[in-house]
Amino acid sequence: MERTVDAVVEAVAEAAPDIRGGLIGRRSYRDSANASGERQLAADVYADQLLEERLGGIDGVGEYASEERQEIVDVGEGLSVAVDPLDGSSNLKSNNAMGTILAVYDDDLPAAGETLVAAAFVLYGPITSMTVAREGVVTEYELVDGEMQLTEDAVELPADPVVYGFGGRVPDWPDDFESYARDVERELKLRYGGAMIADVNQALEYGGVFAYPALESAPNGKLRLQFEGNPIGYIVECAGGASSDGSQSLLEVEPTGDIHQRVPLHVGNESLIERLEASLD
Ligand code: F6P
Q: Could you give the CA distance from residue 224 to residue 209 in angstroms, rounded to a whole number?
A: 18
CB 208 within 8 A of CB 164: yes
Beta bridge partners of 141: 130, 150
Return the pLDDT at 265: 98
Kindly give, in sequence order, each residue whose CB lies less than 8 Å from that of residue 51, ignoring residues fewer than 6 positions away.
12, 15, 19, 64, 66, 83, 85, 100
For ligand 1, the distance from its centroid to the CA atom of residue 165, given in whole angstroms, is 11
Return the pLDDT at 255: 98
Rg (CA), the chain: 17
Return the pLDDT at 40: 85
pLDDT tier at 26, thresholds 50, 70, 90: confident
Pairing of strands 116-124, 128-134: antiparallel
State yes or no: pLDDT of 188 exceeds 90.
yes
For ligand 1, the distance from its centroid to the CA atom of residue 153, given in whole angstroms, is 29
Pocket mutation for ligand 1, best pick of 68, 86, 91, 212 (most atoms within 8 Å of C-beta): 212
Domains and CATH numbers, the chain: 2-152 (3.30.540.10), 163-280 (3.40.190.80)
pTM above 0.85, yes or no: yes
**Nearest residue (CA) to ligand 1, atom 12:** 194
Over the stretch 51-65, which tens digit does the pLDDT of each residue have?
Answer: 999 999 999 999 999
Ligand 1: list residues with CB < 6 Å: 87-88, 90, 167, 194-196, 212, 222-223
End-to-end CA distance of the chain: 40
Return the pLDDT at 41: 87
Over the stretch 204-224, which tens digit does the pLDDT of each residue have?
Answer: 999 999 999 999 999 999 999
State yes or no: pLDDT of 37 exceeds 80.
no
